[in-house]
Structure 1
Amino acid sequence: MSQYLLLKKISVQNANAIAGLTYGFPAITNFLGFAHALSRKFPETLAVNLGGLAVISHKNTVHARQPKGWGDYVFALSRNPLTHQGKTAPINEEGRMHMQVSLLIEVNGLISGDTETKEQLIEYVKQNVPELRLAGGQITHIESIELTPLNEEQKTLRKLMPGFALIDRSDYLSEHFQQHKAINDNVCLFDAWCDFAQLKFKAEKITSEDEQETEALESVNQKANWHYVAKPQSGYLVPINTGYCAISPIYEAGEVSNVRDSTVPTVFAESAYSVGEWKSLHNIKNIEITLWRYEHQYPWYVAKTIPFEDEIIEPDSSEAMPY
């Protein structure tokens, strides 16, 4: 039974809302990187390290607006200083958001009953967290920082309600891709992923007996009923950025010039995408299924959660891919 470091209701301003091809919430790699950066600040005398983590979203607001009051939303960008020529500086699209999240981080090496180490850990976290950025945003407030008691994970989840935990659903993507593959052998994984990412509608022609004769002559401006096309699976499913896929061999240290760190091997990579699900905390009975951990098997370096078919309390009513 593991013990967890709980950072409850972290308020973050101006976090990055764009994650590769997706937007609306930071990539899961931002949060795993935050935990890694935090653990690197621990002294060697503190013989603990941080492992997987769970991300629980309480509220978030993307900085977006409708220029005409209707239609598509666009990001509300910052106004940068003028250039030396007095002109507006060219900028790239930079989506930002305010968010309030809680993080449950797995603590490895913590001995039960070691009160002194626990107090040191909490103190180091309180000192170092305000100095870090989370998903590129500034941490403005944390409601509380504590270690969860052993065997009380369910109570911890209840304390974080209302909230939604982000869970890996790459199994949905893999299953849907195999169904497409059985029908059309030329289909690619990106096509299956788009069925989860896109908002789709399908047109159905309106015809009557009187209109059937003129239907062949009139091929333009025909009346139709538009129907929403549901996603391949039920649930609050979203496209997510989960890691990286190597697109080159691994080069030895110093073989590639102008890299950030010439003392380690280098590999070129692209973002990897999958499908996630926002699950309400009252539907989760095992905290383990919410923990994201990296899996490394060349060329993949992606974050996943453990399978959880039997670990979710369902209401009565009812694979990663490179770019």
Structure 2
Amino acid sequence: MSTRRILVLPHLKVHNANALSSPFTIGFPAMTAWLGFVHALERKLKVGGYPTLGLSATGVISHQCDLQTYRGPGDFVHSIIGTANPLDKDGKRSAFIEEARCHLDVSLLIECRAHEDDLDRIEQPEFAEQLEQLLVTMKVAGGDLKIFSQPRFTVLDDSNGREVRKLLLGLMPGFALVERRELMQSAMEQGADALDALLEYLTVHHRCEQHEDGNVSWHSHRKTEAEGSKPGWIVPVATGFQGISPVGQAKNQRDPDTPHRFAESVVTLGEFRMLHRISALDDIFWQYHTDLQNNLYLCQQAQPEINNDGYF
């Protein structure tokens, strides 16, 4: 029997979350943003009287993502809906850097680990009240947390598929974000460049066909994993950073006591998968993983063999 204690944060309504998930992708916030929020929550709970509590893994379930873009009549591409607040002294818009924003409805599943004393206290009503008081003060993926459903704590047997299915179906309709790094690994093993491997699964191909009566019909398709397979929606997802400078001190760094290094985003493939297709919690749980030998600071899911291929 594999007993797991899961904190459920259902239907977090986030306003103006950061949709610029990396320097070259826009859409659902980066996985680093979600694990960063959970890490900040863990630190606040430890200070608030739960010193041994650890929030060790996180599952992200998207119910709605409203990207703030606009495409006018005849436009080929979308434009970012930006703001320039406040106005300058002349009442005109001040210069600003465009920031991609999105409104979200997201549920989080968080695995909790702690000593028995803290675990017993987590199941008490006082913990839920304290948690709600903390949530209203926090940012989520750079956005404002407007409203949320009541958090709940559940204990289940991970080997019991019925219990896992009951938990997940209670959050339907929703799409869990799953890592699909193995798709890039497979393409790179066949000689593809990292960027080509990424684009191979993201490119939408359009094809037109002219019929005998002169009418033209258009068809669109994306690459599938295998003949007859039914993959979910494949997307690029930012899952961490790679250091590009030595660890040391930088001029005017925020924390003078913590070593600093410059880094760039790491992007791989992910998949939004409907919850009824999830059979185990480990299929959707993300955790931190550090590979100092390759200067990688990642958010990963459990893989049969951890290696550092399949990133761009």
Sort the TM-score into its range (normalised by shorter chain).
Answer: 0.7 to 0.9
CA contact (8 A) 1:196 1:239 kept: no
2:311 match: 321
C-alpha distance in structure 2 between counterparts of 1:68 and 1:158, whole Å: 40
Unpaired runs of 5+ residues, structure 2, are: 158-162, 211-215, 226-230
1:116-265 alignment runs, 5 A limit: 116-119=121-124, 120-151=126-157, 152-179=163-190, 181=191, 187-201=192-206, 228=220, 230-231=222-223, 233=225, 234-251=231-248, 255-265=249-259
CA contact (8 A) 1:157 1:287 kept: no
CA contact (8 A) 1:83 1:89 kept: yes
Equivalent residue of 1:22, what SS?
coil
| TM-score, structure 1 as length reference | 0.81
1:1-323 alignment runs, 5 A limit: 1-20=3-22, 21-43=24-46, 45-46=49-50, 47-68=52-73, 70-109=75-114, 111=116, 115-119=120-124, 120-151=126-157, 152-179=163-190, 181=191, 187-201=192-206, 228=220, 230-231=222-223, 233=225, 234-251=231-248, 255-298=249-292, 299-307=295-303, 319-322=309-312
Letter in 2 for 1:74: S
The 1:203–1:173 alpha-carbon spacing in structure 2 relative to 1, beyond 3 Å, is: farther
The 1:127–1:113 alpha-carbon spacing in structure 2 relative to 1, beyond 3 Å, is: closer
C-alpha distance in structure 1 between counterparts of 2:74 and 2:105, whole Å: 27
CA contact (8 A) 2:84 2:94 kept: no
Letter in 2 for 1:39: E
Q: CA deviation at 1:226?
A: 7.3
Q: CA deviation at 1:25?
A: 0.7
Equivalent residue of 1:23, what SS?
coil
C-alpha distance in structure 1 between counterparts of 2:284 and 2:69, whole Å: 29
CA contact (8 A) 2:232 2:274 kept: no
Letter in 2 for 1:83: D
Q: CA deviation at 1:70?
A: 5.0
How many percent identity over aligned positions? 32
C-alpha distance in structure 2 between counterparts of 1:240 and 1:69, whole Å: 30
The 1:169–1:292 alpha-carbon spacing in structure 2 relative to 1, beyond 3 Å, is: same
C-alpha distance in structure 2 between counterparts of 1:245 and 1:279, whole Å: 27
The 1:236–1:153 alpha-carbon spacing in structure 2 relative to 1, beyond 3 Å, is: same
CA contact (8 A) 2:194 2:310 kept: no
Q: CA deviation at 1:27?
A: 0.5
C-alpha distance in structure 1 between counterparts of 2:265 and 2:115, whole Å: 34
CA contact (8 A) 2:13 2:147 kept: yes
1:220 match: none
Letter in 1 for 2:223: K
How well do the aligned residues superpose, as a CA RMSD in angstroms?
2.6
Unpaired runs of 5+ residues, structure 1, are: 182-186, 207-223, 309-318
